[in-house]
Structure 1
Amino acid sequence: MLKLKSLRLLAATLALGFSAALVTVDYADARRGGGFGSRGTRTYSTPAPTQTAPSAAPIQRSTTQPGQQGAPAAGARQQGAQAGGLFGGMGRGLMGGLLLGGLFGMLLGTGFGGMAGFLGLLLQVGAIILVVMLVRRMLAARRQQPAAATASGAPAPGQGMTQNRSALDMGKGFGLGGGASAADTRPANAMGENDLVGITPRDLDVFEQLLIQVQSAFAREDYAALRKLGTPEVMSYFAEELSQNATNGLKNEVTDLKLLQGDLSEAWREGDTDYATVAMRYEMRDVMRDRATGALREGDTEEMVEVTEIWTFQRERGGDWKLSAIQDA
């Protein structure tokens, strides 16, 4: 009897640890939280795929009302069902409820049907994970087929810019290029209908600088700089996140940020406003510290974290580009 109680206690401890891990994932997703802001009339449509980001998670928080733009595109609905990773959305809630229910039952001596039931549950969870991974790979491969089909004709979204800019300065910035002079106003790609603005290498350099400036201003908690770099809507989400960090006694520290790869997804014009959506893969050191003591609370100062996101910028006619939305890849 004592041995059985010990096994049940061990299993309960493992289940509690797994449940805590799910809570941690929820917190990390909220802290990283892409999927906010506005893309004009394309807020609830899926950005065109690129080499950097073949797919994008939908925007979840926006002042743009879905009813004003019609129902989201089929691709956006498909991405919405997958948002949040393997344990995202409904799947995470069901998994968490199952584990917590089994945990309390185990503490009462009935949950999971003892150790045999618990091991059976683990096998079932493993099988579900494998099925989900296979389905996600099949969907990803299916989404990439249209891009591959265009290889013999017009370049797929993002490929034209990548090929044209690679000769400028290999291995740096957007499209493997970078460092274009201010006088260089040649179109940066041959995307046709996906670039209705005529994005130039100079614009791409501005996007790279905005990535660095926004991350730096957020880490400094520089509200004035964030107001200049982003739209009022984006600023409100940043302020909310910074306020939550302060409430939790945390301060974000971001250093050594470097853009690894980037390409243009689409650019269009609505009235006097230009929009440009770009995919960016970058690395940085990203940790959370205690606000009072400076002690490390989350992350590793020696680890470079790699992130892929889709950022949308907007500018009024003759004005400067500003960040208007961020989506997770």
Structure 2
Amino acid sequence: MSTLRTRGRRRAALLALAAALTVAAPIAEARPGGGGSMGSRGSRTYTAPSATPTAPGGGMTMQRSQTAPSPGMNNPGMANPGMQPSGRRFGGGFFAGLLGAGLLGALFGSGFFGGLGGLASMIGMLFQVGLVIVVVMLALRFFRRRNEPGAASYARTGPGGPAPGMGGPMGGFGGGAAGAAPRSPQMRQVQIGPNDFQAFEKLLGEIQDAYSREDRVSLSNLATPEMVGYFDEELQGNASRGVVNRISDVKLLQGDLAEAWGEDRTDYATVAMRYALRDVTMERGSGRVVANGDPEATELWTFQRQPGRGWVLSAIQQTR
């Protein structure tokens, strides 16, 4: 009888331990974003944000995004694609072989018909010269079409603007290459002022508060649909584990601008923010605390703005 009781106690203890591990393990980082990097930053989605005094190591590359990478986009490892060689040289590949053969034949009096002598040699040389002219004309026509308006090209800065990829405080400009669209977005500078910084700080607190209250309606007014979808996944995960994340006492300690730029009609601003918070995860039924998050966090938040609308959150990235 005593043996059965001992086994029952051990089983109950193991079940309690397993339940505790199940609750605590996935919620070490319970604040919005879960300590990951997610969202979209336009053509700079897959480029790590620039370093700032608040985030000296810069930001991590994006882990989750609904923006699909494309050959022309700023992919990881291409900090400044606008300054990278295009990989296309004039007369490269097949054309280079023809040009080389033709020019060498013309210079040395041999080539396709070398060794025949006399009239045949002269005809061969004329044929090669004509072939060179045809190839040059085709090459010129190819590059002329390639440079016509509407053709895909690398992103350009505005008049007097800095080169793509040059980010910094107060209106730093981040460039980008064309995405999957047939043309590059029209890049331009965006100036960020005190009112914008106040809006960013306000959004930081409001998003944390709405997330804590699991208020999806408020979140939809503060973030892009993509980010709201990620938040909803996290909230559903908390509900399935029978816990709730309560965030309070959010206070911005330090913040600065990493990058600010515009693409077509959308403004973007990536801001490094170090903030304090009280991050507690509790059981829904009893209110018992099962985990405490870090009292301080440093992240890079990207905000976007459409004409006539305010800023909303479009991405969260962790620092390196």
**TM-score class normalised by the smaller sequence:** 0.5 to 0.7
Q: Tell me which residue corresponds to 1:60.
A: 63
- The whole-number CA distance in structure 2 between the counterparts of 1:319 and 1:191 is 22
Change (3 A) 1:314 1:190: closer
Q: Which one has the largest radius of gyration? A: 2
Contact 1:37 1:62 in 2 (8 A): yes
- The whole-number CA distance in structure 2 between the counterparts of 1:193 and 1:38 is 14
**Identity across the alignment (%):** 48
Contact 2:277 2:296 in 1 (8 A): yes
- The whole-number CA distance in structure 2 between the counterparts of 1:193 and 1:64 is 17
> In the TM superposition, what whole-angstrom CA distance separates every residue of 1:3-54 from its partner, at most 9, and x where no partner exists?
xxxxxxxxxxxxxx9xx99x96765258623211100000000111100012
- The whole-number CA distance in structure 1 between the counterparts of 2:201 and 2:291 is 27
- Identify the structure with the greater helix proportion: 1
Does 2:317 correspond to 1:327? yes
Task: Give the aligned residue type for 1:222.
Answer: D
Contact 2:60 2:318 in 1 (8 A): yes
* DSSP 3-state at the match of 2:285: coil
**What's the TM-score once normalised by structure 1's chain length?**
0.55
Q: Tell me which residue corresponds to 1:37.
A: 39
Which structure ranks higher in relative contact order (CA pairs < 8 Å, sequence separation ≥ 6)? 2
Q: Tell me which residue corresponds to 1:215.
A: 208
> In the TM superposition, what whole-angstrom CA distance separates every residue of 1:29-85 from its partner, at most 9, and x where no partner exists?
586232111000000001111000122111111100012654623278xxxxxxxxx
Count of equivalent residues: 199
Kindly report which structure 2 residues correspond to 1:157-236, keeping only aligned pairs within 5 A, or say none.
158=168, 161=169, 189=170, 191=172, 196-236=189-229
> In the TM superposition, what whole-angstrom CA distance separates every residue of 1:208-247 from its partner, at most 9, and x where no partner exists?
0000000000000001000000000000000000000000
Kindly report which structure 2 residues correspond to 1:264-283, keeping only aligned pairs within 5 A, or say none.
264-283=257-276
Q: Tell me which residue corresponds to 1:49.
A: 51
Q: Tell me which residue corresponds to 1:311.
A: 301
Structure 1 residue runs of 4 or more that deviate by more than 6 Å after TM superposition: 23-26, 192-195
Stretches of structure 1 that go unaligned for 5 or more consecutive residues are 1-16, 77-155, 162-188
Task: Give the aligned residue type for 1:51.
Answer: P
Stretches of structure 2 that go unaligned for 5 or more consecutive residues are 1-16, 80-165, 176-187
Q: How far has the Cα of 1:284 moved from its partner?
A: 0.7
* DSSP 3-state at the match of 2:211: helix
Q: Tell me which residue corresponds to 1:257.
A: 250
- The whole-number CA distance in structure 1 between the counterparts of 2:253 and 2:30 is 24
> In the TM superposition, what whole-angstrom CA distance separates every residue of 1:76-130 from its partner, at most 9, and x where no partner exists?
8xxxxxxxxxxxxxxxxxxxxxxxxxxxxxxxxxxxxxxxxxxxxxxxxxxxxxx
- The whole-number CA distance in structure 2 between the counterparts of 1:212 and 1:46 is 24
CA RMSD after TM alignment: 2.8
Q: Tell me which residue corresponds to 1:243.
A: 236
- The whole-number CA distance in structure 1 between the counterparts of 2:227 and 2:191 is 25
Task: Give the aligned residue type for 2:255.
Answer: G
Change (3 A) 1:191 1:245: same
